[in-house]
Amino acid sequence: MKRKLVRFGKGFKVLVGNRRVQAAQMTLPPGDSEGGPTNRHRRADQWLFVASGRGTAVINGRSYPLQSGSLVLIEHGDRHEIRNTGRSLLKTLNFYSPPGYTAKGDELPAARPSDAATS
Three-state helix/strand/coil letters over the chain: CCCCCCCCCCEEEEEEECCCCEEEEEEECCCCEEECCCCCCCCCEEEEEEEECEEEEEECCEEEEEECCCEEEECCCCCEEEEECCCCCEEEEEEEECCCECCCCCECCCCCCCCCCCC
Give the distance, in angstroms, between the CA of residue 107 and the centroid of all CA atoms in the same chain.
11
pLDDT of residue 83: 98
pLDDT of residue 27: 98
pLDDT of residue 108: 85
Residue 13 CA to residue 44 CA, distance in Å, equals 16
Q: Has domain 11-97 been given CATH number 2.60.120.10?
A: yes
pLDDT of residue 107: 87
pLDDT of residue 80: 97
pLDDT of residue 29: 98
| Entry pTM | 0.88
Q: How confident is the prediction along the chain (119 residues), in pLDDT tens digits per residue?
A: 999 999 999 999 999 999 999 999 999 999 999 999 899 988 899 999 999 999 999 999 999 999 999 999 999 999 999 999 999 999 999 999 999 999 888 888 875 444 444 44
pLDDT of residue 48: 98
Domain boundaries, the chain: 11-97
